[in-house]
């Protein structure tokens, strides 16, 4: 690395002294904020790259905290050991030539097959019930002690009532856990 001339070193010392004061008062300011303060408040003609280099060389840069994003569920996904033990239900929206269509699917988690479905122009609890009725009316009739997995929140009360249905249990999941 090339040594700066004496005049550049003297300018660097003036800027560095002011940067140390700024970072003492505002430790979370980054180089852009420091540069803007030097340029527009202190009226110093200084380049952003110089401010960044001086802060970096003297260990004054603000540290960035990276938060780990939890991408997995806190509880393990249930694993069925026979057909019709666990069903999952979900809805998606599809753009068609005539506008949006809402598709509700009921899946058997063991066989990974669609056991019930409904496609319509609206997405109310009635459509969810239609998909469930088609699933229950298929050859894959639900077992006693059937478990449903869903992430639709309060729609469950519309489907099964506040107390639920006998022999039907629900594992409610938040967004992104399915």
Query: If DSSP codes are grouped into helix, strand and coil, which group holds residue 146?
Result: strand
Looking at residue 178, what is its pLDDT?
43
**pLDDT band at residue 176 under the 50/70/90 scheme:** very low
| 77-122 pLDDT tens trace | 778 888 888 888 888 899 999 999 999 888 888 888 998 899 999 8
Q: Which residues pair with 120 in a beta bridge?
A: 102
Query: If DSSP codes are grouped into helix, strand and coil, which group holds residue 144?
Result: coil
Looking at residue 175, what is its pLDDT?
47
Query: If DSSP codes are grouped into helix, strand and coil, which group holds residue 173?
Result: coil
Q: What percent of the chain has pLDDT over 70?
A: 74
The model scores a pTM over 0.75: no
10-14, 49-53, 61-65: which range is least confident on average? 61-65
Looking at residue 7, what is its pLDDT?
82
CA 39, CA 45: separation in Å to the nearest integer?
6
| 143-152 pLDDT tens trace | 555 666 666 5
CA 87, CA 85: separation in Å to the nearest integer?
7
Question: Could you tell me how many helices (H) and strands (E) the chain has, helices first?
Answer: 5, 5
Question: The sheet that has 86-96: what strands, in order across it?
Answer: 113-120, 99-108, 86-96, 146-150, 168-172
Looking at residue 41, what is its pLDDT?
94
Neighbour tally for 153: CB within 10 Å: 11
Higher pLDDT, 65 or 72: 65
How large is the average pLDDT for residues 22-36?
92
């Amino acid at each position: 690395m090339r040594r700066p001339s004496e005049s550049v070193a003297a300018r660097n010392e003036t800027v560095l002294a002011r940067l140390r004061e700024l970072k003492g008062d505002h430790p979370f300011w980054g180089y852009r904020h420091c540069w803007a303060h030097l340029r527009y408040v202190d009226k110093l003609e200084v380049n952003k790259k110089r401010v960044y280099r001086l802060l970096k060389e003297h260990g004054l840069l603000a540290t960035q905290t990276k938060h780990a994003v939890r991408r997995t569920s806190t509880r393990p996904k249930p694993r069925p050991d026979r057909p019709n033990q666990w069903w999952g239900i979900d809805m998606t929206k599809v753009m068609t030539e005539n506008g949006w269509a809402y598709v509700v699917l009921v899946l058997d988690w063991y066989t990974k097959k669609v056991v019930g479905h409904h496609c319509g122009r609206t997405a109310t609890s009635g459509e969810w019930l239609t998909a469930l009725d088609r699933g229950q009316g298929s050859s894959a009739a639900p077992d006693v002690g059937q478990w449903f997995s869903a992430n639709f929140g309060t729609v469950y009360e519309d489907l099964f009532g506040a107390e639920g249905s006998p022999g039907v249990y629900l594992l409610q999941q938040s967004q992104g856990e399915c």
